[in-house]
Structure formats: structure tokens, C-alpha cells
């Protein structure tokens, strides 16, 4: 006879059973515990939407005291860090294209002389508009210092100068994104996020599914080598990846009017190592996972830091040093710099090499690790 009454004894038995299941599946239990800890660390310690000490280039043709006061005033805001002293404006432009500087301050040779004459000299501040979130506070601070930045220089005979407002002007010129459109920042980076999600999450789950269904065991009866298996499994994903690239770029151009200033062929070429790097990560995760659920959970530990620390969602320079070190290892960080450089700045192969070689190195390391783990799995 069926007992329809609620039983605390049965409930207790089921509860004990589930706790024992947790003990058997210890990896899943640890993922459940560690994932919120990872989120708290990343969101609480690694994110600052008001970045400071942003890299800037300085071209100072004026040797007077007022130009030095202007430079010191900008650095005192804590937003500007003049790390580069390029000899020419062309060199400064290349630094910005390569994402090594976000600003270029150009002070003309007659800056101090004009200020003494009361002529309101103008200094030019060029801004990298491809990252509007990072530069917004700095641009605002550059204008705020002007009424007081020369107060200790305008003493003695210079007290006669009666400036209506600021004694000088900083003229801001936003490059690559004059209208400060957030789409210019988000849409190119979104391509890297989509590819990362596809190849790390989907690839790891698809390959783990084969082992769950037993189809991977058929490879043991063939003389096929691990490298051949990886290449054979990678080709369909690569084709799908390039279809995603074409679709995203088409939508970016047609619906969001995102320009393609650089070479489209170069963009397709450098996309290959990024696709392979993430694909090899997905393959390695599949070899470490017993089920698709476990593969998806492990993938989150790679995708979440990539999303948060790559500079896509939050400013790269707003992160502490340790977080930027982690960010520099992630392939998405370098791919976002590359794709923004090609699409918005017209970057050449030489310009993107500073981000391409870490991407290639990561790809090779992941290939070696994936081969080793996949060979052990076949064995």
C-alpha cells in the first residue's frame, strides 16, 4: 500500500544521499564553492571604473616654466603618466596605434612666450577615442586644472596679467572615434568574446559528449595519432569560427557603421591564432572533464576572467598590477587590442606585433598541453 503522508525519515534519507553524492563528485562541489569566491575577488578587487596613471606621450617644444607647470599639473591629477617622450609626432601616433599610450600632449614652442604676453596659448591633447570609458575622467581633469595650474608662476611682475578665466587652453582632439560612440569600443571587442565563448565552452562540451557516448573509444581501434585527431576535430570549429567573424563584421558595418580602416585580410589572418588558442583550451578542458556539466563549469573559470580582465567590459588600466599581469596572459586581451587597432586605427602587421606574439605564444603552449592531456586520455 502506498503511503501518501509526508515522511521526515524519507526526507532525511534523501538528504543524506545527496550529501554523499557531493562527496563522490568532489570536483563539482569545489566548483560550486570556488566560483562565487572568484567572482567576489574579480569584481571587488580587480575592477575600477575610474582608472588612474594612464600612459601618455609628451611632445614638448617649449622649454619655459609654464609648460613644465602644465605637465606637472596634469600628472598631479593622477590620471596622466607621461611614460613616453617621442621625438616626433609620427612616433607618438604609432604609440597610440599600438595601444601603448592613450594620450599625446603637444606643447608648441611659443607656449610660455605667448602666456607671458597674455595671448592664451593652446596646447593640444590627442586622445585615443577607442576606449572612451578609460579616458573620460582624464579629459575632464585636464580642463579642471587650468584656472589654477599657473598660480605659482604668475607672481611678481606677472601679476599684471589679467586673464579672464584660464591663462591657457588645452584643446582636446579625439582620434579614431570623434563622436565618442560606445559602439566603437564594444562591437569590435564583442567578436573576441563570442569566439572565446564558442571555442572554450562549446568545444569542450562537444568533445566531452563524445566520451560520454562512447564514440571516442572507437579511435582506440585505429592507428590515428593524437595530433591528427586534434586537427580533424579543429577544422570544423575553425570554419564555424570564421563564419562567426564574417557575420559579426557584417553586422558591425551595416547596423552600427563601424569602419574597417585597416586590412580586412590582416584581420582574418590574425584571427586564426586566436581561434586555435581558445580551441586548444577547450580541448584541454574536455580531457579534464568527465561530463558535459563539469566541462561547462571548468570553462567558466577561463571565460569569466577573460570577460572581466581583458579590457572589454572594464578599463584595463583601472585594474591593479596583479590583475593586469593575469590579463596579459589571456588571449582575449591581446585580440581585442588587435581588432580595435586594425578596424579603428588602421594598424599594420608591425603595429599589432606587440600583441600578436603573446597570442602566438599562448597558442603554442596550449597546443602542447592539449596534445599531452589528449594523448593521456586516449591511452
Looking at the fold, whether 167 and 201 belong to one and the same domain comes out as no
Residue that is last in its domain, among 135, 153, 175? 175
At residue 36, the pLDDT reads: 78
Looking at the fold, whether 128 and 217 belong to one and the same domain comes out as no
Give a yes or no: residue 165 inside a domain: yes
Q: 322 lies in which domain range?
A: 182-378
At residue 283, the pLDDT reads: 87
Task: Write out pLDDT tens, residues 51-71.
Answer: 999 999 999 998 888 889 999
Looking at the fold, whether 259 and 347 belong to one and the same domain comes out as yes
Give a yes or no: residue 124 inside a domain: yes
Give me the tens of pLDDT residue by residue for the chain, a chain 379 residues long.
456 676 777 778 788 877 777 666 666 667 677 777 877 877 777 788 889 999 999 999 988 888 899 999 999 999 999 999 999 999 999 999 999 999 999 999 999 888 888 788 899 999 999 988 889 999 999 988 888 888 777 665 655 555 556 778 899 999 999 888 888 989 999 999 999 988 888 888 877 777 766 666 666 666 677 677 778 878 888 999 999 999 999 999 999 999 999 999 999 999 999 999 999 999 888 888 777 878 888 888 898 889 989 989 889 998 989 999 999 999 999 999 999 999 999 999 999 999 999 999 999 999 888 888 776 555 5
Looking at the fold, whether 129 and 228 belong to one and the same domain comes out as no
Residue that is last in its domain, among 124, 148, 175? 175
Give a yes or no: residue 5 inside a domain: no
Closest CA to 234 of 302, 180, 284, 161: 284
Give a yes or no: residue 49 inside a domain: no
Looking at the fold, whether 256 and 287 belong to one and the same domain comes out as yes
User: What are the start-end ranges of the H helices in 46-181?
Assistant: 65-76, 89-97, 111-116, 132-144
Looking at the fold, whether 147 and 237 belong to one and the same domain comes out as no
Residue that is last in its domain, among 111, 141, 175? 175
Give a yes or no: residue 364 inside a domain: yes
Give a yes or no: residue 231 inside a domain: yes
Give a yes or no: residue 28 inside a domain: no
At residue 313, the pLDDT reads: 85
Distance CA 372, CA 202 (A): 21
* DSSP β-bridge partners for residue 173: 126
Looking at the fold, whether 215 and 132 belong to one and the same domain comes out as no
Looking at the fold, whether 280 and 195 belong to one and the same domain comes out as yes
Distance CA 130, CA 231 (A): 36
Give a yes or no: residue 3 inside a domain: no
At residue 41, the pLDDT reads: 77
Task: Write out pLDDT tens, residues 256-281.
Answer: 999 999 999 999 999 999 999 999 99
Looking at the fold, whether 115 and 154 belong to one and the same domain comes out as yes
**CATH value at residue 115:** 3.40.1710.10
- Supply the DSSP symbol for 179: T
User: What are the start-end ranges of the H helices in 197-263?
Assistant: 203-213, 226-254
Looking at the fold, whether 159 and 219 belong to one and the same domain comes out as no
Contact predicate 134/317, CB 8 Å: yes
At residue 214, the pLDDT reads: 64
Number of separate domains in the chain: 2
At residue 74, the pLDDT reads: 94
Looking at the fold, whether 205 and 336 belong to one and the same domain comes out as yes
Burial of 195 per CB tally in 10 Å (0-12, 13-18, 19+): buried
Contact predicate 134/318, CB 8 Å: yes
Closest CA to 299 of 372, 202, 219, 232: 202
What's this model's pTM, rounded to 2 decimal places? Answer: 0.86
List, in order, residues 6 or more apart from 161 with CB less than 8 Å away: 116, 118, 154, 167
Looking at the fold, whether 90 and 209 belong to one and the same domain comes out as no
Amino acid at each position: 500500500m502506498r503511503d501518501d503522508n509526508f515522511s521526515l525519515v524519507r526526507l532525511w534519507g534523501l538528504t543524506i544521499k545527496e550529501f554523499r553524492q557531493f562527496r563522490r563528485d568532489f570536483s563539482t562541489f569545489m566548483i560550486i564553492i570556488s566560483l562565487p569566491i572568484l567572482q567576489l575577488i574579480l569584481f571587488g578587487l580587480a575592477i575600477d571604473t575610474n582608472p588612474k596613471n594612464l600612459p601618455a606621450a609628451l611632445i614638448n617644444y617649449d622649454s619655459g616654466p609654464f609648460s613644465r607647470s602644465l605637465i606637472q599639473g596634469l600628472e598631479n591629477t593622477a590620471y596622466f603618466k607621461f611614460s613616453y617622450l617621442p621625438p616626433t609626432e609620427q612616433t607618438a601616433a604609432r604609440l597610440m596605434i599600438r595601444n601603448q599610450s592613450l594620450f599625446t600632449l603637444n606643447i608648441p614652442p611659443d607656449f610660455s612666450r605667448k602666456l607671458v604676453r597674455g595671448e592664451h596659448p593652446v596646447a593640444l591633447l590627442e586622445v585615443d577615442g577607442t576606449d572612451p570609458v578609460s579616458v573620460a575622467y582624464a579629459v575632464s581633469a585636464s580642463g579642471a586644472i587650468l584656472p589654477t595650474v599657473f598660480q605659482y608662476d604668475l607672481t611678481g611682475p606677472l601679476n599684471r596679467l589679467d586673464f579672464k578665466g584660464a591663462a591657457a587652453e588645452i584643446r582636446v582632439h579625439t582620434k579614431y572615434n570623434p563622436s565618442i560612440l560606445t559602439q566603437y569600443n564594444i562591437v569590435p571587442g564583442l567578436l573576441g568574446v563570442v569566439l572565446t565563448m564558442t571555442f572554450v565552452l562549446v568545444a569542450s562540451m562537444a568533445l566531452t559528449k563524445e566520451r560520454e557516448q562512447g564514440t571516442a573509444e572507437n579511435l582506440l581501434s585505429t592507428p590515428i595519432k593524437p595530433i591528427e585527431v586534434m586537427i580533424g576535430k579543429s577544422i570544423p570549429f575553425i570554419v564555424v569560427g570564421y563564419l562567426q567573424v564574417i557575420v559579426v563584421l557584417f553586422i558591425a558595418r551595416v547596423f552600427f557603421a563601424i569602419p574597417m580602416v585597416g586590412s580586412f585580410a590582416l584581420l582574418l589572418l590574425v584571427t586564426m591564432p586566436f581561434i586555435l588558442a581558445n580551441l586548444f583550451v577547450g580541448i584541454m578542458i574536455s580531457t579534464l572533464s568527465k561530463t558535459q556539466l563539469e566541462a561547462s563549469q571548468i570553462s567558466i573559470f577561463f571565460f569569466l576572467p577573460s570577460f572581466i580582465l581583458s579590457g572589454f567590459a572594464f578599463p584595463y588600466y583601472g585594474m591593479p598590477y596583479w590583475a593586469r599581469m593575469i590579463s596579459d596572459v589571456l588571449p582575449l586581451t591581446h585580440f581585442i587590442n588587435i581588432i580595435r587597432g586594425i578596424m579603428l586605427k588602421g594598424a599594420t602587421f608591425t603595429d599589432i606585433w606587440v600583441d600578436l606574439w603573446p597570442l602566438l605564444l599562448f597558442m603554442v603552449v596550449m597546443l602542447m598541453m592539449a596534445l599531452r592531456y589528449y594523448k593521456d586520455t586516449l591511452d
